[in-house]
Each structure stands twice: as structure tokens, then as C-alpha cells.
Chains A and B, each alone.
Chain A
């Protein structure tokens, strides 16, 4: 008995690897190798010579330079991290809320869903390049780069000035206006999350709701007792996705890219991104361990 079980397990493992193999090969070649390379870059000084690149090992000098010598690295890093911590819960809340609404049956539902996904299509960068210098571009870009761009239509300068002049507490005012300024950002970053939640909502079996209905549950109860637990694995998914999305679209990435391709300090740029990467990993790890305890799996 024990023997057959073992062989079956082995067979299972082999089958699993077979299914995994094509993806894994591609992954190692195209993601794992480059990431390893970039770690090597971050520990060395890269120079362009006539024969290509030369690499000298210099230890942690690049990391030190990022913190102590670079003019704006520390500021951008803290801003990016704070931004992420504030935005992630807001985005999750908003997208779950919208997804539940969009999952109801009503006329023009497909169109409504498309509209909520629109910012993702518009912000894909490709269109921004095409749409040469007009308002659309300015709006989208200022929303993406989170800078107080004077062209932006959606910022609340006037409000802030008025409130401060009328004698309100400055820190409260700046928090409020900050939240208002974030609205567009949050909506425009929620497209993919809404989509993921929608897919999740559609995999909940209607029979559960049916049973709850027969037992006399209200819509509110049904949401908290059925929808919420059933969708909880996807809340975890979405938290991770949101962190990663914020990661790849923050000012930090722009700084890293500029360091690499404008000033050609490849080593420094790799070091910067490794530091950033470590910060995000820590945040992600904390969020993951907090949420995964609450996640419910139907079994």
C-alpha cells in the first residue's frame, strides 16, 4: 500500500514538472537570468568601452552612493513607499466595491465594465506616445506621475489655498486635498483589479446565494457571508498585484531608468532598484502574512 502510494506521488511530481516545464524554461532564460545579472551589475562598476562593457567588482559602493550621494534618491524612495501604503487599501476597497456593482445584472453592463477598464487601455503608454501634446495626454500624465502639474485639470490648488486662508489646520487641509487629488489616480489604477474581482465574482456558484436566500439572508448578509469569504483569495491576489503595479509605475522607476539610460550609471541604477525591490518585498511580506491568515478556501 505504502509503495504504490509513493510511486503515485512520484508520478504526480513528474507530471507536474511536465506541465510546468515550458513555462519554467522561458522563465529561467528570460527573467531569472536577467535578474541575476542585474544583481551582478549592482555590485560592480560598468563602463562602456570600444570592446563592449567592462565590469569591475566594487562591492557595495553603488548601494552607498544611492543613499549618500544621489541628490534625490532618498526622497523619491520614501515618497514612493508612502504612496503605495496609502493607495493600496483605497484601490482594493474601490475596486471590490465597483466590481460588486458591475456584477449586478443591468442594461449596458458590458459598456459600463468597458468604461471602468478604459484607464488601463488609455494609460498603457503606447497611446500617450501617439497622442501628441494635447489635454488628454496632460491629464493622463499628471495622473500617472502624481506631480502637481499646472496643466492638470483635476487638482485642488484653489481648494487648498482657500481652506488655508480661511484658517483651517494646515495638516488636515493637506491630507484632505491629497485624498481628493488621489481620486483620479485610484480610479485609473483600479481597472485590472476590478477585472480580477469580476472574474472571481463570476466563479462563485449562484447556488450558494440561492441557499442563503431560502434561509432568509438579506443582500447585505449575503455579501459578507458569501461574497466576501469566497472572494478573499482574490483580495490577496489583488493586493499583491496592486503593490506590483504601483511598483512599476512610480516615480522611482523613472529615476532608475534615467540613471541607467540618461546618465549611463548602470551599476548605480541596478543598486537603486535592488534597494527599492527589498523595500517592496518587506511591505509585501507583511501584507501577505496579515491577509493570508484571513483567506478562506472552499474545500
Chain B
């Protein structure tokens, strides 16, 4: 691996140094531009109330304070449903939905990509069509289906639809299609059955894909507020609970800034974590032809 990376390092030397400087300058400028909202909300979370309402607003905090956070925890300790319950709801929904979706989508994508049978093509175009459908249109029928299944006001109303989300299947199929057939054939000749091939060859090879999918789904489910499907207060999500705090108005602006920082830090941390886990997979490296 080390040799490879040094080799790749050398490719860069071939290119002109100034070209590199320009490229990274470009990256830096856009990166800063995109990081602005994050820096701004981090600063906001530590601003005392008088600085939050300063006009014109100041970008950086002058007198950082932790009072926003202590306000927030004070508010949370007085809620009717314990705060931990909201946190548990969100974590449970997010974890179950993400893991289930990634597993089901990969399992379904494997035959679609690598074992073409009759109807594969039609099935796949149906998936792409489903991707294009605005969720608002299907909101009412969706509610009715879930109602008939008796899942209204349970976690399943959010978790199970996440399983069937078409995006994941689509992505996984595209990635699995790039695995050379020869690898799978070799495994089959060596006597591996389909489950074995799926778990020990296909899934490790598309690791970047399913880690990416994990981030996407996590991000999506983390932001859910239960919407129309969940009524019971003790099943509501963190996002909803924190939104209620902010709805308290101007007096809660400090706590609101703290809430925003807390809510967005989890997906960002997960993102950095999973990205560090993605390493070069070698789908095409085992080939000798």
C-alpha cells in the first residue's frame, strides 16, 4: 500500500507545480465558502443573547459563553417526556432504518446487477421511475397504506418505508455492475454458493458504495420529525423536540443556536468517521488475463 501511495504521489510531480497550486487554491476557496455556514452556527451557539440580536450581525463571537448550552439543558430537564426518550427514538429510528435499508438494498441490487433474469430490465426501469416521484404526491396514499397495515403511531411507520427507498437500490446496483464477472465466476468454480459470494466478495468490494449509502440514509432519517405518522409524544424524535424548544420564540434564540449546532454535529461526525473507513477497494486488481 505504501509503495502504491508513493507511486501515486509521483504522478503529481509530472503535473506542473503551478497547476497543483491553482487546483488547491480553487478547492480552498470553495471549501471556505461552503464552510461559512458551519463556522457561523458554531459561533452563534456561543454568542450571548445581546450579540445574537446585534444588527448588523457579527460573524465571530466576541464574548463566548456556555449559557446557551446550560439554558438548553435546563429546558430539556423540564420537559414532560424525558429528553433521553427523544434521543432514543431518533437513534433507534435512524439506526434501524439505515441498517435495514443498506442490507435490503444490497441484497436486492446483487441479482439485478449480476444475475440477469427475465424481468430485470423492467424492474430496474420501474425503480428509476419510482425515484422520480415527488414524495408529496404519494403522501396521502402512503398514509393510507401504512394506516391499513396498522403502523400509524409506531416506529415502523418511518423505519419500514425507509427500507424500500429506491435510491439505495439504484446506487448499489450501479456499483455492483462494475465488479468484473470473472471474480464471481472464480468464486463459483471454487465452490462458493451465492450467499458466500455475496458476503465475502461482493459486499467488501462495494464497501465505498454502502458506506456512502449509510451516510445518505443516516442524514435523511436523522432529520425526520415524525411528520404525520407519529402522534404520541413519547415516540416523537429529537428533531421535533428541539424544534419545539426553538418555537418558544425570541427568548429561546440562544438555546436554538445551541440546538442547531448539536443537531448538525452528529451527521458531520458520522461523515468524517465513515470517510476515514473508506479505503481503496481493488475490484479489478485480482485479475490476470
Contacts and interface: CB of A to CB of B under 8 A. Distances in A.
A207 B289 CA distance: 14
Contacts of B279: 202
Interface in A247-292: 247-248, 253, 256-257, 260-261, 266, 269-270, 273, 276-277, 280-281, 284
Interface stretch (A23-31, A58-66, A162-170, A173-181): A23-31
A86 interface: no
Given A26-B104, A196-B171, A119 B34 contact: yes
B243 A205 contact: no
B132 A284 contact: yes
B84 interface: no
B171 to A, nearest CB: 7
A188 B283 CA distance: 31
B96 interface: no
Contacts of B169: 23
Contacts of B249: 132
B170 A237 contact: yes
B230 interface: no
A66 to B, nearest CB: 13
Interface string B17-55: 000000110110011011101101100100000000000
A15 B272 CA distance: 37
Contact of A199 (B15, B118, B211): B211
A198 interface: yes
Interface stretch (B62-70, B75-83, B216-224): B216-224
A247 B105 CA distance: 23
Contact of A266 (B140, B171, B209): B140
A37 B141 contact: yes
A121 interface: yes
Interface string B134-174: 11111111101110010000000000110110110111001
B9 A38 contact: no
A35 B208 contact: no
Contacts of A4: none
B267 A121 contact: yes
B57 interface: yes
Nearest to B130: A31
Given A19-B111, A98-B27, A209-B8, A126 B134 contact: no
Interface string A14-49: 011101101110110111111111100100000000
Contact of B134 (A27, A111, A134, A273): A273
Nearest to A42: B137
B108 A24 contact: yes
Contacts of A234: 174
Interface residues on B, range: 35 or more
A12 B180 contact: no
A51 to B, nearest CB: 15
Interface in A69-110: 98, 101-102, 104-106, 110
Contacts of B132: 243-244, 247, 277, 280-281, 284
B285 interface: yes
Nearest to A106: B24
A148 interface: no
A134 B247 CA distance: 13
B86 interface: no
Contacts of A236: 174
B41 A219 contact: no
A121 B219 contact: yes
Contacts of A196: 171, 212
Interface string A176-220: 000000001001100010011011101111111110010000111
Nearest to A112: B31
B219 A124 contact: yes
A12 B115 CA distance: 7
The 9 nearest A-B residue pairs measured at CB: A126-B223, A16-B111, A26-B164, A37-B141, A199-B208, A34-B138, A34-B141, A23-B108, A13-B117
15 contacts: A23-B104, A33-B145, A37-B140, A112-B31, A114-B271, A115-B35, A121-B271, A124-B222, A199-B212, A200-B175, A209-B11, A269-B137, A270-B137, A284-B132, A298-B283
Interface of A: 9, 12-13, 15-17, 19-20, 22-24, 26-27, 29-38, 41, 98, 101-102, 104-106, 110-122, 124-127, 129-132, 134-136, 139-140, 184, 187-188, 192, 195-196, 198-200, 202-210, 213, 218-220, 222, 230, 233-234, 236-237, 240-241, 243-244, 247-248, 253, 256-257, 260-261, 266, 269-270, 273, 276-277, 280-281, 284, 297-299
